[in-house]
Amino acid sequence: MAILPILHYPDPRLRRDCLPVERFDDGLRELIASMAETMYDAPGVGLAAPQIGEAIRLLVYDPEREEEERQPRVVINPEIVLREGSVVGEEGCLSVPQFYGDVVRAERIVVRFQDGDGTVHEEEHEGLTARILQHEIDHLDGVVFIDRMSALKRDILKRKIKKAAKAGDYTLTA
């Protein structure tokens, strides 16, 4: 396991559409373990493969804040098969550190995915877990949370990022 560098917006690798995972082998299990370690070290509640430069449909997440309660979940080749309701909530992102914004997400989702062994699952989620999954699945489609903000708020946030980068308070690459 290793802590991996996290790409920062506007790195173009964050905009790639990711390819399905087809091989469920030791290399994949090692990548999953490193991603989980990286997520906890950041610290964050989710991390998608494109955030570490891998263009595959893989993410890890864990909404638990208490260290003894932590148990990373692995989601491979996810597909949201049902969205219900709508809720606004503040989001941040390990690829856009220090910046937050309100994003509209489905309140309840059903996700079909594979685990680290390739077994297919279908789960229903709501609340924070639904938000995390929608956020991370967006990364697999080349979407960053600021893309989901209103045009005005997105432009303001982009200007703040540029200003912070010029001041040396924001790194444009990992």
**Contact (Cβ atoms closer than 8 angstroms) between residue 130 and residue 107:** yes
Reduced to 3 states (helix: H, G, I; strand: E, B; else coil), residue 103 is strand
* 136 part of the active site: yes
Residue type, 139: H
For residue 16, count CB atoms less than 10 angstroms from its CB and return exposed for 0-12, middle for 13-18, buried for 19 or more: middle
Structure tokens at 146: 């600021």
3-state secondary structure 110-138: EEEEECCCCCEEEEEEEHHHHHHHHHHHH
Identified catalytic residue from 64, 79, 124, 136: 136
For residue 81, count CB atoms less than 10 angstroms from its CB and return exposed for 0-12, middle for 13-18, buried for 19 or more: exposed
- Range 36-40, long-range pairs (CB < 8 A, 24+ positions): 36/60, 36/62, 36/72, 37/1, 37/2, 37/3, 38/3, 38/4, 38/6, 39/72, 39/94, 40/70, 40/72
Catalytic residue numbers read 136
